[in-house]
């Protein structure tokens, strides 16, 4: 877990350090709710969990932007015929290209957006309700494709409230089994608050 956190922070610095002198760079916290499921695992249904972390965004003076996030994400599935569940916790690192509609940046303005990009997840734990550790049965990494939409609301000229809904489609088989092909499916709703870094126009 400690090594995963160090890797995620290092990745954030390496990707974003060339942008630190750029204009329109912002960062902030985000928190959301997941509705997750495991495709390919029978007799299961969706499970609700938490998603929280930090983001760093760069937006151009036109409509395009790029963002990186480091999130702790509770995923997995509930079993249909019992109160048991399978909980998979990840550190997720999505890299998202964003298109912003409109150009108003005055206080009280709304700016819709759509975004998409890849996401890599690092498994931190996997267990059932009784705490049995299934770490040896699941892959330590997961790759997903993320697609979403949302809106930003200008609290001031340089501070925004960020709202979005997204769907993450798992692209890799996370089960270490020759008879199972299991992948993550996660829908989430998130809220964040962005603050400017350096010069911001």
Tens of pLDDT along 102-146? 876 677 889 999 999 999 999 999 999 988 999 899 999 999 999
- Gap between the Cα atoms of 56 and 38, Å rounded: 29
Report the pLDDT value the prediction gives residue 107, as an integer from 0 to 100.
78
Q: Give the rounded percent of residues in the chain with a pLDDT score beyond 90.
A: 68
Return the pLDDT at 187: 98
The average pLDDT across 72-85 equals: 94
- Confidence check: pLDDT of 5 > 80: no
Q: What's the pLDDT score for residue 54?
A: 97
CB burial string 91-125: b at 16+ within 10 A, e below:
bbbbebebebeeeebeeeeebebebebebbbbbbe
**pLDDT at position 109:** 87
- 117 — phi, psi (to 5°)? 165, 175
Residue 64 tokens, joined: 């395009």
Burial per residue of 152-177, b for 16 or more beta-carbon CB atoms within 10 angstroms, e otherwise: bebeeeebbebbbebebebeebbbee
Local structure of 141: helix, strand or coil: strand
Is 96 within 8 Å of 116 (Cβ atoms)? yes
Q: Which residues pair with 69 in a beta bridge?
A: 55
Q: What is the pLDDT of residue 104?
A: 64
Local structure of 20: helix, strand or coil: coil
**Better pLDDT: 107 or 53:** 53
Q: What integer best gives the mean pLDDT of the chain?
A: 88
């Amino acid at each position: 877990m400690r090594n995963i956190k160090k890797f995620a922070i290092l990745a954030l610095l390496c990707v974003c350090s060339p942008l630190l002198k750029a204009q329109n760079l912002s960062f902030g916290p985000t928190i959301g709710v997941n509705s997750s499921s495991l495709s390919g695992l029978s007799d299961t249904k969706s499970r609700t969990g938490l998603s929280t972390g930090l983001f760093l965004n760069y937006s151009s003076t036109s409509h395009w932007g790029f963002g990186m996030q480091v999130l702790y994400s509770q995923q997995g599935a509930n079993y249909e015929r019992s109160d048991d569940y399978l909980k998979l916790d990840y550190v997720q690192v999505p890299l998202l290209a964003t298109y912003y509609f409109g150009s108003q940046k005055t206080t009280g303005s709304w700016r819709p957006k759509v975004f998409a990009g890849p996401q890599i997840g690092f498994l931190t734990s996997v267990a059932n309700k009784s705490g049995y550790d299934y770490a040896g049965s699941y892959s330590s990494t997961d790759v997903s494709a993320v697609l979403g939409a949302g809106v930003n609301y200008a609290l001031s000229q340089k501070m925004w409230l960020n709202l979005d809904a997204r769907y993450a489609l798992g692209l890799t088989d996370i089960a270490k089994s020759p008879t199972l092909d299991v992948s993550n499916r996660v829908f989430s709703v998130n809220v964040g608050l962005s603050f400017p870094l350096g010069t911001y126009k």
